[in-house]
Structure 1
Amino acid sequence: MSGPASVRFEDVTKRFGEVVAVDSISFEVEPGNLVTLLGPSGCGKTTTLRMIAGLELASAGRIVIGGRDVTALPVTARDVAMVFQSYALFPHMTVAENVAYGLTVSRVPKAEVRARAERALELVGLAGYGARLPSELSGGQQQRVAVARAVVLEPDVLLFDEPLSNLDAKLRRRVREEIRELQQKLGITTVYVTHDQEEALAVSDRIIVMNQAVIAQEGTPRQLYEEPASRFVADFIGDANLVEARIRAVENGHAQVEAGGLGLQLPARGSAAGPALLAIRPRSIRLHPEPREHAVRVRVDKATYLGGHMEYEVEAPLGPLFVVDLAVDRPLPAGSDAWMTLAPRGVTLVPA
């Protein structure tokens, strides 16, 4: 590995017969960054990843890795390594043999193979596990073996295809932290595919949201969460209540907004006076058992206790809303009335 490499797509399209899986997309992954391709099933994210790897060849456009045009090059001519969703470990080989496999078939000297495999296992926290078989490991440990097998090749670019989908929720959180820590320690350029928005927010330097074969929005996790560029992104990233509102006036980049009896002042984000769409995050809604100034009355339709927080479905003048409330010590019963205000953050106008 000569150092972190950039990855650049220039108007890349991929067709399968009459089906356009990826439609003229352009983006760049900066050297040493972890960028996530995020979107629903069928949006084109995995096809994009496979084109970086060379497992699929682009129908049009140009792919550049580390300044080298690799558009027409096969897998073997690209210095990339992929961690697959299924792990794809050889069951009859030991952990050490699995990790060393790529080096062995490349005819690297045996002493170097052994040393690099041991170092890779140590990096992923599996020192001393080399003699075991994959069947003797937990799902999380198998995932780490798959990562070690990719890292040992010292690639310019590391690719992850839905790497945590086979793990339970608690283990997913731990392994995603391990992957992020390892990526930062190695400083390796990484492209990561998932459909899980929380996972993407947790691990990424930047996120590319894809929908229907095109890029819907690109930015940092905070930008995508706080400044969604469309209804789709607002709804897909982090959940949002999307409600109709009206902009009364725009002045100095700020909009005077009215929504269901609530008056708000928000960044205009290019919007003009007239009908508008408002995205309200569930944690930005405050419910109060007693009336208060500048609050609107709502009806609690459903209340669910989830240990660390309450989830409510309420009927408000803005329409039906989903609410996440940390005040578990004073739950509001279903069927009761409450009064609603909005927090300063987590409420944004969505550009038309």
Structure 2
Amino acid sequence: MTGTRGAVTFEGVRKEFGSFTAIPELDLAIAPGELVTLLGPSGCGKTTTLRMLAGLETPTAGRILIGGQDVTRLPADRRDVSMVFQSYALFPHMSVAQNVAYGLESGGMARREARGAAEKGLDLVGLSGMGGRLPSELSGGQQQRVAVARALVLEPQVLLLDEPLSNLDARLRRRVRTEIRELQQRLGFTAVYVTHDQEEALAVSDRIVVMKDGRIAQQGTPRELYDSPASEFIADFIGEANVLPCEVESVSGGTATVAVGGLRQPVPAREAAPGPARLAVRANAITLTPGAGAFAGRIASAAYLGDHVEYEVETDLGRLFVLDAEAVEPLATGASVALGFRARGLALIA
């Protein structure tokens, strides 16, 4: 993909609904061919942002550019974007091929040409030969792929996906999100993906934009956000971290030595200075050893989930959530344990 085709820019975008300000001010740039996920809890502004990009909502202030063109006041049908809805929005009385061709035919393309393009679109998403079926004859995952094919045949600059997997069961979600990601990488189109599911965002994204109260709380690659959360909100929202008070004792060569729970632990300094701080600790970064230790705890609850055990552990620093993927047998409720830390999964936060 060359030039600015597929590039998206929000410049000082503000959105108000009466006296309520949903988006105070948004500045965001998306590169051509990039898959960016807008992630956050309900009411954070991610869907409003997507709807403004789609032309379904008009900004109160600021500009939106697609491919270098100002589209802020353009209607949805003139924006060169396609949207995949969580409800699929397929016509039940039309065949799969008719559903995929519908947008092309509505835009004036001859029926034969549109049907040919529809078959190519179905082939792209792995549904070759299924054009004659009705949507009701397909699985949920196949229906979602039809919705993606219908959007792609329009050859939009940007593909918008609004909670596209929310109606699928867990196993199917994993498969379809992989298919969407592989398709996006193979074809190189720009995509803006909205979800509240942090695992989904980590799996599909080039970049994740975490939103809170209509603002960008942090953005970066999945690994950057997981390994280096900028705040307690990010640490808890992406990866469900425990946040513990600690003391930065010294900083040297980019590494800080922190004292926490009776233990001393080296962690990336992240511009920290000696003094009180907070340490985000991933659930799988905590080790448990039966018996006493410098950082002592007691098993409050244990849940065996097949490939791992989840614990709630009472400590002097509060109740901690611990995930152990190596346990053969769960530790007994009430057992005394010594807590330790693994090298990865610890981050000082502001």
The SS at the match of 1:11 is strand
Deviations 1:117-140 (A, max 9, x none): 001111111111111111111111
Supply the distance in 1 between the matched residues of 2:223 and 2:69 (Cα, whole angstroms): 32
Aligned residue number for residue 345 of structure 2: 346
Aligned residue number for residue 35 of structure 2: 34
Aligned residue number for residue 184 of structure 1: 185
8 Å Cα contact 1:36/1:208 also seen in 2: yes
Aligned residue number for residue 243 of structure 2: 242
What are the within-5 Å matches in structure 2 for residues 170-181 of structure 1?
A: 170-181=171-182
Deviations 1:63-94 (A, max 9, x none): 11111111111112111000011111111111
Give the deviation of 1:244 after TM superposition: 1.2
8 Å Cα contact 2:98/2:115 also seen in 1: no
Give the deviation of 1:328 after TM superposition: 2.9
Give the deviation of 1:290 after TM superposition: 5.0
Task: Give the CA RMSD over aligned residues.
Answer: 1.5
What is the aligned-residue identity percentage?
61
Supply the distance in 2 between the matched residues of 1:132 and 1:254 (Cα, whole angstroms): 60
Which stretch of the first structure deviates more once superposed, 35-44 or 53-62?
A: 53-62
Supply the distance in 1 between the matched residues of 2:176 and 2:47 (Cα, whole angstroms): 21
Aligned residue number for residue 120 of structure 1: 121
Give the deviation of 1:286 after TM superposition: 1.0
Q: Does 1:335 align with 2:334?
A: yes
Deviations 1:286-333 (A, max 9, x none): 1123567xx522211111110001111111233211111012314311
5+ long unaligned stretches in structure 1: none
8 Å Cα contact 2:94/2:134 also seen in 1: yes
Aligned residue number for residue 164 of structure 1: 165
8 Å Cα contact 1:94/1:131 also seen in 2: yes
Which stretch of the first structure deviates more once superposed, 109-118 or 245-254?
A: 245-254
Q: Does 1:298 align with 2:297?
A: yes
Q: Does 1:17 align with 2:4?
A: no
Supply the distance in 1 between the matched residues of 2:255 and 2:145 (Cα, whole angstroms): 48
8 Å Cα contact 1:259/1:318 also seen in 2: no
| TM-score, structure 2 normalization | 0.96
Which stretch of the first structure deviates more once superposed, 209-218 or 135-144?
A: 135-144
8 Å Cα contact 1:305/1:328 also seen in 2: no
Aligned residue number for residue 276 of structure 1: 277
Q: How many residues align?
A: 349
Amino acid paired to 2:98: E
Deviations 1:151-181 (A, max 9, x none): 1101010000000001111110001001101
Amino acid paired to 1:172: R
What are the within-5 Å matches in structure 2 for residues 134-283 of structure 1?
A: 134-283=135-284
Supply the distance in 2 between the matched residues of 1:89 and 1:221 (Cα, whole angstroms): 32
The SS at the match of 1:21 is strand
* Structure 1 consecutive aligned stretches of length 4 or more whose deviation exceeds 4 Å: 1-4
Aligned residue number for residue 80 of structure 1: 81
8 Å Cα contact 1:261/1:317 also seen in 2: no
What are the within-5 Å matches in structure 2 for residues 45-64 of structure 1?
A: 45-64=46-65
Aligned residue number for residue 326 of structure 1: 325
The SS at the match of 2:180 is helix
Give the deviation of 1:246 after TM superposition: 1.6
Supply the distance in 1 between the matched residues of 2:327 and 2:265 (Cα, whole angstroms): 28
